[in-house]
Structure 1
Amino acid sequence: MGDTEATVKSKKTVFVTVGTTSFDALIRAVDTQEVKAELLRRGYTQLLVQMGRGSYIPTKSEGGDETLAVDYFTFSSSIADHLRAASLVISHAGSGSIFETLRHGKPLIVVVNEDLMDNHQSELAEELADRKHLYYARTRTLHRVIADMNLDSLIPYHPGDATPVAKLINQFLGFADD
């Protein structure tokens, strides 16, 4: 009984963002019963979806004992407020969204849009995942990443030293390391 009361009192929000893009595949993925059930199992109580220019509308829900409260919007002038309030962020692979989330110190799952040609964003997401700053998923693996993630294993990202990022960019562009 104590666990149920604690869950009701503590709101744990998952914030999903696609930035200014259209990424219906991500919105569809977070709207599936498998992903919602996994988030609920992990103690999350609310799902707030920023759907950008997408046309897929997620299913709204008031929430309850066995369901996640779900709400959505297209754009907001206060994304930083949503990031601050989030317990977990699921984001597209845009570098602005990634680094803003990491600067706020929030656990992050980056989902790559596989429909984009020449997707350099996936390389940045994979590199940051290899460094244990975030989790990396595809739309079809999102529920498994949520099920398997250990947020305590993530290493906080400390902005300021641009050397690792510059090195990654140089590698991507084909410049030799010094």
Structure 2
Amino acid sequence: MKFETIFVTVGTTEFNDLIRKLSKDEVFQLFKEHLGCKNLTIQIGKGESVSFDHFKGIEVEIFDLKKSILEDIEKADLVISHAGAGTCIDVLKKEKPLIVVINDTLMNNHQIELAEQLSADNYLFHTSVKNLPNTLKNFDISLLKKYEKGNIDGFIEYLDDVMGFAEQND
């Protein structure tokens, strides 16, 4: 499968390790030749900007922050993201394949728990910055499940039952 449009987001903080890794020739080759990328959009948050001038054959757009990234998610054939809960859910709701890269520089590395669970449930792939090239080479989107929104009716029935509000059958 080809991923002509790839969107990378690091959220509102900084994830310089990921941005620097993306600028490496090895990743460029994977994007272009293995994934078929023609358009790469990178949201760098509050992080440092890195040159992607050497990415010949791939149109690269870089921005720091904007009000909403939903349009970028919708346009993408593949999203590579930090493991922020809001971003993960937004991408999964749009039914886009997602590779989550753990930002292990954050306090308590809280993102790994969410990424590991969603990966274990086959909704996304997760990796480290160091292992991103290997993940790009080997991920298979046919292994992913469609994200299903929660069933609020089932939760209400459960809550009613626990609270003793459920109707009694005579």
TM-score (structure 2 length as normaliser) = 0.82
Q: Distance in 2 between matches of 1:123 and 1:61?
A: 35
Q: TM-score, normalised by structure 1?
A: 0.78
Distance of 2:3 and 2:144 partners within structure 1: 22
Q: Hey, what does 1:49 align to over in structure 2?
A: 42
Greater Rg, structure 1 or structure 2?
2
Q: 1:17: which partner in 2?
A: 9
Give the aligned partner of residue 7 of structure 1: none
Residue number among 35, 38, 45 corresponding to 2:30 in the alignment: 38
Q: What percentage of aligned pairs have identical amino acids?
A: 37
Moved over 2 A (4+): 60-64
Distance verdict in 2 for CA 1:140–1:62, change over 3 Å = closer
Aligned partners of 1:126 and 1:11: how far apart in 2?
Answer: 24
Q: Which residue of 2 aligns with 1:85?
A: 75
Aligned-residue CA RMSD (Å): 1.8
Q: Is the 8 A contact 1:61 1:71 kept in 2?
A: no
d(CA) in 2 for partners of 1:91, 1:97: 8
In the other structure, the counterpart of 2:121 is 131
Partner amino acid, structure 1, of 2:30: E
Greater displacement, 88-97 / 114-123? 114-123
Q: How does 1:84-103 map to 2 (within 5 A)?
A: 84-103=74-93
Deviates more, 1:136-145 or 1:70-79: 70-79
Q: Which runs of 5+ in 2 are unaligned?
A: 153-170
